[in-house]
Amino acid sequence: MDLQGTRRKRNHPIVTGNSLKDMYPHNLQLYNLPPSSDIQLSEFEELALERLQLFRMLEQTTQKGLRIYGDEWKQCVRNQLNNQLKKFYSLVKSTNFENPSDAELEARRADHISHFILRLAYCRTESLRKWFLARELEWFKLRFQEQQPNSIEAFLKLNNFTYSPISSEEKSKFYRELSESTASANMIDQLNFYKVKFTEVPVLIKSRRVFVDKGFAYIPSFELVTCVLGSFRSSLSEALVYANHRLPLMDDDRINFLISNLHHMYTGKDYTQNLNSGKASLTNLDTYARDHFPLCMKHIYGILKSVHHLKHFCRLQLGLFLKGDHFPLCMKHIYGILKSVHHLKHFCRLQLGLFLKGIGLIYEDSMTFWKDEFTKAMDSGKFEKQYAYNIKHMYALVGQRVNYSPYSCIKIISNNVGPGDHHGCPYKHWDSGILRSKLNELGMPSETVQDIVDTASKGHYQVACGKYFEYIHGPQNKVAINHPNQYFEESLECGEKGKGQKSQGTPKRTKKQETMDNTPQIRDINWEEEM
């Protein structure tokens, strides 16, 4: 694959006609041959990010708790592809593979080239190879299962697979055995069965899903993907190891930079364009940082309003909790430190400040917010001299006027955090004991705390954040988190759903329940008056 040009984005010509159809005769590919055509560097980067976004989408759909390859999982993937990656969506929906449109041919080309780009990026370490291989197999199986029988037959022929359906006589001979070993026993007459060596389908044999006779397994057509996947997995694993050995020979610095950093690039929603501008303000910022109370906190607050007194640990638990539930734990922690000591170091200010900008805090409100907090520990002159410029810089009002984007999870996780710093990702940068203690302070059940700590200790930091979100908003709200501002938006959406459900004919609440639900903003609690 030759590479030309610069990083400037441009419209890429769509090659049409018989040449492209001859190169890509089918939606499914085993990627045996690398691309041979020239490609602009801008398209190289564009295709790499699109495929990376696709693979993260597959991974995050599974993290939502949906059964992989189940109907809900497939529908969720289709919906996301249709909304965000229409190019790849055309490869999933069932079409007439023999007469593809120009757009479908271009999608096949993009699928082919982007595979080899990511193969270069993910061949470098065992963990990267393992992740890439898993996503490629998921992507292949998803598409294979959407193919019609004639499309599957054509794919097998194109790739020299010698699987042929057994004859009707052989099917009649083993009819009872095939019925007993096949999940869809009532569809035996409609299904094609293939005779393959038993060594090709150990997974099916282990789970007793196929009939075996004289060293051959008889597999139904819907299980044929297992054989093809086994072959694909083996060849791709070897190809990744080979690519890793050849990688040092690549001498293009631009490509080396891209493939070395690709895994850490953010591919989600762009929060640089502030679509929420003005949505957050000083009047509702504390509310966003705190809604909604779990039952344990409602109980403590109810006791406070009833007897006007709390013991030490009750005060501590409620006081710490009042620092945020629409905020992810990373932002809630920084926000709490700011409210406590009225100062933050540079990278803490940057992480929280850009997050607040992303949720819609306009410049004027942001300046007021930071000044109000910092001048509780210093005079206004010092604030104007040392900190005001930095806030203007975040909003692209001074300096090079760069419209900085709020930090994604990948950016936060990859940051270095030194002694005394409070930025970063709690699940990555906190000791497990500190994380456990913080979660306990928030009133989480011990089994939930243990689950989150265990998940974080295994390096699944964003999954741990998703489990935290699930605890706050209920097990019915499973979300794959990849950005603090996404967490905020998902949390608000859950809050709106909750309000809608409450308004649709819920039982009449008692005065005691209404009192417990009247949760205040942070500024509304006068601790001296209550105590």
Q: How far apart are CA 531 and CA 304, in angstroms?
A: 8
Asked which of 201, 226, 251 is the last residue of a domain, the reply is: 226
pLDDT bin (cut points 50, 70, 90) of residue 321 is very low
Instruction: Compute the mean pLDDT over every residue in the chain, rounded to the nearest whole number.
Output: 82
Co-location of 126 and 218 in the same domain: no
How many Cβ atoms sit within 10 Å of the Cβ of residue 505?
Answer: 6
pLDDT score for 530? 46
Mean pLDDT, residues 383-396 taken together? 93
* Residue 425 is assigned to a ligand binding site: yes
Residue 111 lies in a domain: yes
Co-location of 408 and 480 in the same domain: yes
pLDDT score for 450? 95
Co-location of 203 and 164 in the same domain: yes
DSSP 12: P
User: What's the number of domains the chain is made of?
Assistant: 3
The domain spanning residue 75 has which CATH number? 1.20.930.80
Residue 530 lies in a domain: no
pLDDT score for 359? 84
Question: Mind listing the pLDDT tens digit for each residue in 11-58?
Answer: 444 444 457 888 999 999 999 999 988 899 999 999 999 999 999 999
Statement: residue 390 has pLDDT above 90? yes
- Under a CB-based contact definition with an 8 Å cutoff, are residues 406 and 334 in contact? no
Co-location of 201 and 236 in the same domain: no
Statement: residue 505 has pLDDT above 60? no
In 3D, which of 154, 469, 504 has the Cα closest to residue 327?
469
pLDDT score for 515? 36
Q: What is the pTM of this model?
A: 0.68
Which range is least confidently modeled, 190-199, 209-218, 291-300, 480-489? 291-300
Co-location of 12 and 115 in the same domain: yes
Statement: residue 106 has pLDDT above 70? yes
DSSP codes of every residue in 221-287: GGGHHHHHHHHHHHHHHHHHHHHHHHGGG---HHHHHHHHHGGG---S---SS-TTTTTS-TTTHHH
Statement: residue 118 has pLDDT above 90? yes
Give the range of the structural domain holding residue 476, as residue numbers without chain letter: 285-525
The CA-based angle 487-489-495, given to 5 degrees, is: 100
Co-location of 143 and 7 in the same domain: yes
Is 220 strand, coil or helix? strand
Co-location of 400 and 507 in the same domain: yes
Residue 280 lies in a domain: no
Question: Mind listing the pLDDT tens digit for each residue in 430-472?
Answer: 999 999 999 998 888 999 999 999 999 998 899 999 999 998 8
Co-location of 121 and 89 in the same domain: yes
pLDDT score for 518? 41
Co-location of 291 and 237 in the same domain: no
Co-location of 248 and 345 in the same domain: no
pLDDT bin (cut points 50, 70, 90) of residue 185 is low
* Residue 123 is assigned to a ligand binding site: no
Q: How far apart are CA 246 and CA 118, in angstroms?
A: 15
pLDDT score for 12? 43
Percent of the chain at pLDDT > 70 equals 79
* Residue 465 is assigned to a ligand binding site: yes
Residue 216 lies in a domain: yes
Co-location of 423 and 408 in the same domain: yes
pLDDT bin (cut points 50, 70, 90) of residue 273 is low
Torsion angle of alpha carbons 385, 391, 396, 400, nearest 10°? Answer: 40
* Residue 314 is assigned to a ligand binding site: no
Residue 91 lies in a domain: yes
pLDDT score for 387? 94
Co-location of 327 and 411 in the same domain: yes
Residue 279 lies in a domain: no
Q: How far apart are CA 258 and CA 264, in angstroms?
A: 10
pLDDT score for 276? 52
Residue 273 lies in a domain: no
pLDDT bin (cut points 50, 70, 90) of residue 373 is very high
Residue 274 lies in a domain: no
Question: Mind listing the pLDDT tens digit for each residue in 120-131?
Answer: 999 999 999 999
